[in-house]
Chain A
Amino acid sequence: MRLLLADGSSIAGASFGADAEARGEVVFNTGLTGYVETLTDPSYRGQILVMTYPLQGNYGVPPGPYESDRIQVAGLVVTRHSARPSHHAAERTLGEWLRAEGVPAIEGVDTRTLTRRLREHGTMPGCLVAPGREASFEAAAARVPAIDMSRVCDLVTPREVVRYDGQGSARVLLIDTGAKESIVRSLQRRVGAVVRAPYDAPWETLLGEVDGVMLSNGPGDPADLQSLSDRLRAVLARQIPTFGICLGHQLLARAVGAKTYKLKYGHRSQNQPVMDVDTQRAYVTSQNHGYAVDDASLPSDWAPWFVNLNDRSNEGIRHRHLPLRSVQFHPEAAAGPHDTAFLFDDLARMIHEHRTTRRHEDRRAT
């Protein structure tokens, strides 16, 4: 099997996944554990994922639940696949899982050198092709189909509204552009019931029955979802507690008029340091994004909330007065550290306070 890149590189390796081919943006992730969660993260839809940690599949694949019901990546690139995993909960090997899901994967690749190339050139398109096929990316790209990334969210959003019970008293609308299951689980555990709606469904009609809104993560460029950003103004207008994660953060920023831009090679790892600019506390976060919000373009009633300590890019925004906020990283973790899980509690508190004041105001009004 061969990995062909748009810069002309051609890298040989052995297939350990499905007997299939793939085309997509080639990105790298530096996590040491968590391939199961990462591969099922809908934000990776359509991308060929390079793992920098050389040993993948060590603990096999447990029965689930995962971050979605399928492997989302278009293809997987590793240095070495552990064909003999060891774990009490393992049901099958990583290779077996990839084969069952029809996802191609290549091992024997010098992923460090490849990562350095991606770091220098930025992410670029690539193809995974069977041996003996095309030798250049251009030739392969003409044959191997890729998904239309401008409409990638259509592939990962649910088909219909789904309702979940939760442990809190609140009810949250999750506008789903490819939400990780862990967001749903975190909301259930820490906030309350969840009404999960496809992003392109008429979810405006549901706003009346919920106490808060969660904008999920998802794949692709937020600019391609401008119509959704426009619709989000309806949420903002209601001033009900709203929280965005990752793509949801970018969409919210765009909804209030801020700009987003493409990062050279994105943040895909579990070790990104961010700082709360108010409390000056630092947190280690899990991230997976190729686009970022431009701080400077925020309107005056919005403020940067978190900043990335490595490259100073924006990691979160909050409204100066209203319970509206969003973060670029993943407080639901999976894979990654749980350090910012408290943000779900904050959301629950925000909702609670909001309900209390609203009741108060309602009483006053009557």
Chain B
Amino acid sequence: MPRRDDLRKVLLIGAGPIVIGQACEFDYSGTQGAKALRQEGYEVVLVNSNPATIMTDPGLAHRTYVEPLDVRTLEAILERERPDAVLPTLGGQTALNLAMALHERGVLERLGVEMLGARPDSIKKAEDRALFKAAMEKIGLACPRAGVAHSLEEAWEVVKTTGFPAILRPSFTLGGTGGGIAQTEGEFAAKVEWALSQSPTREVLIEESVLGWKEYELEVMRDRKDNFIVVCSIENLDPMGVHTGDSITVAPSMTLTDREYQRLRDAARAVMTEIGVETGGANVQFSVSPHDGTVYVIEMNPRVSRSSALASKATGYPIAKIAAKLAVGYTLDELQNDITQTSAAFEPVIDYVVVKWPRFAFEKFPGADPVLGTQMKSVGEVMSIGRTFCEALQKAARSLETGKDGLSSLLGKVDYRLLAEPKKARDLGMEPAEPEPQKTLPPPSPAELEGALAKVIGVPTAERLFYVADAMRSGFSRERVHDITMIDPWFLAHIERIVLAEADIAAGKTGPADLRRYKRLGFSDRQIAALGGGCEDDVRALRKQHGVVPVYARVDTCAAEFVAHTPYLYSAYETESESGASASTKRKVVILGGGPNRIGQGIEFDYCCVHAVQALREAGFETIMVNCNPETVSTDYDTADKLYFEPLTLEDVLAICEEEKPEGVIVQFGGQTPLKLAVPLEKRGVKLLGTTADAIDRAEDRGRFDDLLQKLGLRRPASGIAQSPEEAFAIADRIGYPVLVRPSYVLGGRAMMIAYSREELAEYVHVAVEAARDAGTKTILVDEFLKDAIEVDVDCVADGRRAVIGGVMQHIEEAGVHSGDSTSVLPPYSLSPEIVMSIEEQTRMLALELGVVGLMNVQFAVKGGDVYILEVNPRASRTVPFVSKATGRPLAKIAARVMAGATLDELGAFDAMVPRHVAVKESVFPFTKFPGVDTILGPEMRSTGEVMGIASTFARAFGKSMAASGLDIRVPEPGARPRVFVSVKDEDKPVACIIARRLYALGFEILATRGTALALERARIPVETVNKVREGAPHIVDAIRGGKVSMVVNTTIGAREVKDSYSLRRQTLLMNIPYFTTIPAGLAVCDALEAVRGDAAVRVRSLQEWAGEPAS
């Protein structure tokens, strides 16, 4: 059946901000979907609140709404656009839930909008645990014994039949939020309560444990003619019990016989038919008993998922694109596989092994439970491709950028005794986590080490596989490791091969055949050097002398059966290269990507990389993308002319440069990952495009930076450089407290903190020392902290002769909150034109003095009319996509062209007019995933994603950004008088009175702690007093728990106050109550509410309209 002609206009719903469990894979799928629909001639309307996405680029859809993803807003967009259909299956759980809500409220029916991709009843059957289980029983497939509970009482009933350990899976949550494993009756009640609280339907499935069974996932497609294919099978290395998003996974399945695999395939097909997913992609998860092959169906997702992105990258089969086409009427047989130009109705086969390894960020969340379970905790992932499992595994390990060059040993680097110590169970505790002082013990005895290893490998954690390898290095047999970990012996046998080869390397066996063997096992040159002596360059030289160099094979969906027309490549130590590098006569540019998503480096940088590729492609260059992150648009084989799916290490990038011999390499767009390679690459003769490595160093090296500022006559806060804790104290004493302390060369404010006193500095300085050591330096920076200053971010692009300001953003939070976590407003909403002009002028001076060619970001602090420079980064910043979306000018594209030799004059780039609308960027945090973690913001970045609100006034834009970040701030209904809790530190009390008065006038009752209440009473504002937590019950947390508070404004100072208010913050988080920790944010809320008082209509407008263009 061909394309449906009864549809003309389709609304595509995006996934919103990046959160744990929902990352840029949905930008990848949404972008593919939008492209596919456009290609088919449909008018595409797109909505997503996340500005850092490629899918929201105004050129991609006809109309692009960067608006909150909530029912009211969606309804307004549907009213305005009147599409014929909505496609919600490419935007993750968010889009699916939203579409279901629109359906259930009758909005879709009222407006005559059809839901494409999956029918509401199918979605319900797949997502509702009880319905799903019944459906599986109907088709004769087994599920683990389970029961649904809506209350603790029901839960106790269910667990009688399912037993302990009990698996808890809340309904309708993403990434398993709220889920867990209750090992004993003792933990059961608390975990059930948490799970119920996280489910939007207050429903939890309590399931029999199949911990230790093997876990598999099948990525499948089905069309309206019931044609069905499996795109990819995925096997989890971690057995059941670890969320699949947190598991190391392998494709294809490794340890299933054909008979077993076909049984899963038949089951997946039956599931698809029974659930009724008619058009598109889905996945089905199974667990298989290692003892007798018994199969259980665990769950299915009736939509494109994170694993679909992985499966697409792993096989070359573009699931989202095909799914979009199936949704509008095509059948699989009518579609073509781009890579081979054969039919899309086939099942891809691969002739390599793919490993996905999740990336975690526990270091950002002290107090978070590091044990992996049914709720996803990873913030990103890498994928690697090798000809063998060992090769792929070690490539993935070094792609992670966690300081490992492969499956390296941690013996001697970590103290396994400390790791084995039982962790305080703080999963649900309301007590804040105390930073634990680092203990140092004498080296462990063999028996101590063995005991500790036996313990640590039994608990799934981020680094468990490294511990497993160390256990084998320490003499554990495969059988013993298997008994403890339940990891399939097949995987363990391969890890053992890696460990055994290390002994050969250490013994100095480095003949040509040996080197080739090591490389085929995935050893990096750095690993070989570390084990065998010498340095990385020596090993490389030796390899090349022996002719042991990688070739590049293609990912082609067909294991070489057909000619592959797309150069999607990976390295292999085999015989013939398929890169086609010598065939090209175009000017080549290599763009290095950002590697795995983590906090501080995410989709924003991938956005910049994709823009660089697009701009250079348009300008006629051959673009060559290198990256190892399977979630991204940059690793779509469609994005660049060539894609190398490789780790971003010196060795791997150099090898690609030698293969391709590009004119230059761009390191500016991918964040810290490629930037770290700038100097090493340049030293080895690779030409970098754009700003020189020396200029980058001049901006990053504190001494040289100070000289630069002095030369330009620019100010910065007093500061000093310390090489030890003692020096840090001396500097702090000299410049005075509070001070901002941080390690040098670290992105995302890792281990950055503000110390208000010598005591606080003493408490934290070792953390900075450690973080600095991780980054390979001893240097700690100590800066004067400008209290209550306004922070400003500027992005500009320069060509060495001229600099153009891209955008000036004012932060709502005062300086001290990491710029990546703060709320930014473009244009500035309370700075004088003179200050803004001065900031712009200083930015230009810096760009020209540094000789910036490309992008530069500068952070300023404004205090009392003075402008201070906080930081200069001559590279793409996290705010580039926001600025580009807010102003309608693609900064990264201009920068890429400039780096490749064009001038700003040639490109016609001049300072933009200040936009007449206002855009607000709000950050989104993963705190619900980490019970036990304090939610207070500070200089260390902890947000995973961002949303944008755009409107004609600051107040409305701010309101939208709040709503988009998931906070429901509303003007009270007449007569409702909900309560706002206000508690502020002394110096904030005058302004707090203003805030309280305005909120009262808006219809709120005010609740305050004693001190604040007193101030409010003096200002004649009606207020009710409530106890602080330490004043005893009934206190404020009780009130919040009781649902009596609908908003909180709370500012604190000093460690004790912060600690005291911890439970308050956690409780508001639990209940998803809007919470503001700064006075400027409190004022902004008043603005936002006053703006919509008496005019609650939702106003939406597309980016194309904001930009003043007719919709394309």
Near A by CB (< 8 A), chain B positions 559-584 give 559-563, 572, 574-576, 578
Taken together as a complex, chains A and B put the C-alpha atoms of A55 and B261 apart, in Å, by: 16
Task: Note all chain A residues with C-beta closer than 8 A to B1008.
Answer: none
Contact partner, B561, options A30, A32, A336, Cβ 8 Å: A30
B585 to A: closest C-beta gap in Å: 24
The closest CB in chain B to the CB of A113 belongs to B576
Q: Answer whether residue A323 sits at the interface, using C-beta atoms and an 8 A cutoff.
A: no
Q: Answer whether residue A233 sits at the interface, using C-beta atoms and an 8 A cutoff.
A: no
Q: Residue-by-residue, is A330-362 near B (CB-CB < 8 Å gives 1, otherwise 0)?
A: 000111111100000000000000000000000
Taken together as a complex, chains A and B put the C-alpha atoms of A149 and B265 apart, in Å, by: 36
Task: Note all chain B residues with C-beta closer than 8 A to A31.
Answer: 258, 349
Taken together as a complex, chains A and B put the C-alpha atoms of A179 and B575 apart, in Å, by: 38
Q: Answer whether residue A89 sits at the interface, using C-beta atoms and an 8 A cutoff.
A: yes
The closest CB in chain B to the CB of A86 belongs to B490
Q: Answer whether residue A92 sits at the interface, using C-beta atoms and an 8 A cutoff.
A: no
Taken together as a complex, chains A and B put the C-alpha atoms of A300 and B387 apart, in Å, by: 50
Q: Let me know if A334 and B258 touch, CB within 8 A.
A: yes
Q: Let me know if B266 and A32 touch, CB within 8 A.
A: no
The stretch of B20-28, B221-229, B275-283, B827-835 in contact with A is: B221-229
Task: Note all chain A residues with C-beta closer than 8 A to B563.
Answer: 119
Task: Note all chain A residues with C-beta closer than 8 A to B229.
Answer: 284
Q: Answer whether residue A151 sits at the interface, using C-beta atoms and an 8 A cutoff.
A: no
Q: Answer whether residue B597 sits at the interface, using C-beta atoms and an 8 A cutoff.
A: no
Q: Let me know if A115 and B561 touch, CB within 8 A.
A: yes
Q: Let me know if A55 and B576 touch, CB within 8 A.
A: no
Contact partner, A271, options B259, B349, B353, Cβ 8 Å: B349
B667 to A: closest C-beta gap in Å: 31
**3 closest Cβ contacts across the A-B interface?**
A34-B258, A309-B343, A86-B490
Task: Note all chain B residues with C-beta closer than 8 A to A52.
Answer: 349, 351, 559-561
Q: Let me know if B351 and A30 touch, CB within 8 A.
A: yes
Task: Note all chain A residues with C-beta closer than 8 A to B348.
Answer: 271
Q: Residue-by-residue, is A31-68 near B (CB-CB < 8 Å gives 1, otherwise 0)?
A: 11110110000000000000011110011001000000
Task: Note all chain A residues with C-beta closer than 8 A to B559.
Answer: 30, 52-53, 112, 115
Q: Let me know if A33 and B256 touch, CB within 8 A.
A: yes
Pick 19 A–B contacts, CB within 8 A, sort by A: A30-B561, A33-B252, A33-B253, A33-B258, A33-B261, A52-B349, A59-B256, A80-B388, A87-B255, A88-B290, A111-B351, A112-B351, A116-B560, A284-B229, A284-B346, A310-B562, A311-B342, A335-B258, A337-B230
Taken together as a complex, chains A and B put the C-alpha atoms of A269 and B347 apart, in Å, by: 10
Q: Let me know if A336 and B262 touch, CB within 8 A.
A: yes
Q: Let me know if B258 and A309 touch, CB within 8 A.
A: no
Q: Let me know if A271 and B350 touch, CB within 8 A.
A: no
> Which of B227, B252, B290, B389: most chain A CB closer than 10 A?
B227
Q: Let me know if B254 and A58 touch, CB within 8 A.
A: yes
Task: Note all chain B residues with C-beta closer than 8 A to A115.
Answer: 351, 559-561
The closest CB in chain B to the CB of A59 belongs to B257
Task: Note all chain A residues with C-beta closer than 8 A to B489.
Answer: 84, 86
The closest CB in chain A to the CB of B337 belongs to A310
Q: Answer whether residue B1056 sits at the interface, using C-beta atoms and an 8 A cutoff.
A: no
Q: Let me know if A55 and B266 touch, CB within 8 A.
A: no
Q: Let me know if B333 and A280 touch, CB within 8 A.
A: yes
Q: Is the interface of A mostly helix, strand, loop or mixed?
A: loop
Task: Note all chain B residues with C-beta closer than 8 A to A271.
Answer: 346-349, 558
Taken together as a complex, chains A and B put the C-alpha atoms of A114 and B293 apart, in Å, by: 35
Taken together as a complex, chains A and B put the C-alpha atoms of A37 and B489 apart, in Å, by: 23
Taken together as a complex, chains A and B put the C-alpha atoms of A334 and B258 apart, in Å, by: 7
Task: Note all chain B residues with C-beta closer than 8 A to A273.
Answer: 333, 343, 345-346
The closest CB in chain A to the CB of B269 belongs to A339
> Which of B230, B254, B488, B561: most chain A CB closer than 10 A?
B561
Taken together as a complex, chains A and B put the C-alpha atoms of A53 and B228 apart, in Å, by: 23
Task: Note all chain A residues with C-beta closer than 8 A to B253.
Answer: 32-33
Task: Note all chain B residues with C-beta closer than 8 A to A28.
Answer: 560-561
Task: Note all chain A residues with C-beta closer than 8 A to B578.
Answer: 116
A34 to B: closest C-beta gap in Å: 3
B354 to A: closest C-beta gap in Å: 12
Q: Answer whether residue B291 sits at the interface, using C-beta atoms and an 8 A cutoff.
A: yes
Task: Note all chain A residues with C-beta closer than 8 A to B387.
Answer: 54, 79-80, 112
Taken together as a complex, chains A and B put the C-alpha atoms of A239 and B101 apart, in Å, by: 60
Near B by CB (< 8 A), chain A positions 257-276 give 269-273, 275
Task: Note all chain A residues with C-beta closer than 8 A to B131.
Answer: none
Q: Answer whether residue B206 sits at the interface, using C-beta atoms and an 8 A cutoff.
A: no
Q: Answer whether residue B553 sits at the interface, using C-beta atoms and an 8 A cutoff.
A: yes
Q: Is the interface of B mostly helix, strand, loop or mixed?
A: loop
Q: A32-B350, A53-B349, A271-B347 are in contact. Are A86 and B333 (CB under 8 A)?
A: no
A190 to B: closest C-beta gap in Å: 15
Q: Let me know if B257 and A62 touch, CB within 8 A.
A: yes
Q: Residue-by-residue, is B193-236 near A (CB-CB < 8 Å gives 1, otherwise 0)?
A: 00000000000000000000000000000000111111001000
Q: Answer whether residue B173 sits at the interface, using C-beta atoms and an 8 A cutoff.
A: no
Taken together as a complex, chains A and B put the C-alpha atoms of A78 and B259 apart, in Å, by: 21
Near A by CB (< 8 A), chain B positions 348-375 give 348-353
Task: Note all chain B residues with C-beta closer than 8 A to A270.
Answer: 347, 349
Q: Let me know if A284 and B345 touch, CB within 8 A.
A: yes
Task: Note all chain A residues with C-beta closer than 8 A to B493.
Answer: 82, 84, 86
Given A58-B490, A338-B265: 10 more A-B contacts, CB < 8 Å: A32-B350, A33-B252, A34-B258, A54-B351, A89-B293, A273-B345, A282-B343, A309-B343, A339-B228, A339-B269
Q: Answer whether residue A281 sits at the interface, using C-beta atoms and an 8 A cutoff.
A: yes
Q: Let me know if B257 and A33 touch, CB within 8 A.
A: yes
Contact partner, B574, options A59, A62, A113, A336, Cβ 8 Å: A113
Task: Note all chain A residues with C-beta closer than 8 A to B6.
Answer: none
Q: Answer whether residue A85 sits at the interface, using C-beta atoms and an 8 A cutoff.
A: yes
A287 to B: closest C-beta gap in Å: 11
Contact partner, B255, options A59, A80, A110, A309, Cβ 8 Å: A59
Taken together as a complex, chains A and B put the C-alpha atoms of A172 and B229 apart, in Å, by: 32
B457 to A: closest C-beta gap in Å: 18
B1018 to A: closest C-beta gap in Å: 75
Q: A52-B351, A79-B387, A282-B333 are in contact. Are A110 and B576 (CB under 8 A)?
A: yes
Taken together as a complex, chains A and B put the C-alpha atoms of A85 and B488 apart, in Å, by: 10
B309 to A: closest C-beta gap in Å: 20
Near A by CB (< 8 A), chain B positions 378-420 give 387-389
Contact partner, B226, options A30, A34, A281, A334, Cβ 8 Å: A281
A213 to B: closest C-beta gap in Å: 27
Q: Let me know if B349 and A309 touch, CB within 8 A.
A: no
Q: Let me know if A55 and B262 touch, CB within 8 A.
A: no
Q: Let me know if B293 and A88 touch, CB within 8 A.
A: yes
Q: Answer whether residue B153 sits at the interface, using C-beta atoms and an 8 A cutoff.
A: no
Taken together as a complex, chains A and B put the C-alpha atoms of A42 and B266 apart, in Å, by: 26
The closest CB in chain A to the CB of B575 belongs to A110
Taken together as a complex, chains A and B put the C-alpha atoms of A271 and B315 apart, in Å, by: 13
Q: Answer whether residue B307 sits at the interface, using C-beta atoms and an 8 A cutoff.
A: no
Q: Let me know if A310 and B257 touch, CB within 8 A.
A: no
Task: Note all chain A residues with C-beta closer than 8 A to B352.
Answer: 54
Taken together as a complex, chains A and B put the C-alpha atoms of A213 and B490 apart, in Å, by: 44
Q: A86-B488, A116-B560, A282-B333 are in contact. Are A310 and B346 (CB under 8 A)?
A: yes
Q: Answer whether residue B332 sits at the interface, using C-beta atoms and an 8 A cutoff.
A: yes
The closest CB in chain B to the CB of A111 belongs to B351
Task: Note all chain B residues with C-beta closer than 8 A to A55.
Answer: 254, 353, 388-389
Q: Residue-by-residue, is B267-294 near A (CB-CB < 8 Å gives 1, otherwise 0)?
A: 0010000000000000000000011110
Q: Let me know if B255 and A282 touch, CB within 8 A.
A: no
Taken together as a complex, chains A and B put the C-alpha atoms of A112 and B975 apart, in Å, by: 74
A251 to B: closest C-beta gap in Å: 26
The closest CB in chain B to the CB of A334 belongs to B258
Taken together as a complex, chains A and B put the C-alpha atoms of A320 and B350 apart, in Å, by: 39
B964 to A: closest C-beta gap in Å: 42
Task: Note all chain A residues with C-beta closer than 8 A to B230.
Answer: 337
The closest CB in chain B to the CB of A60 belongs to B257
Q: Answer whether residue B308 sits at the interface, using C-beta atoms and an 8 A cutoff.
A: no
Q: Answer whether residue B331 sits at the interface, using C-beta atoms and an 8 A cutoff.
A: yes
Taken together as a complex, chains A and B put the C-alpha atoms of A351 and B667 apart, in Å, by: 70
> Which of A30, A62, A111: most chain B CB closer than 10 A?
A30
> Which of B230, B345, B493, B553: most chain A CB closer than 10 A?
B345
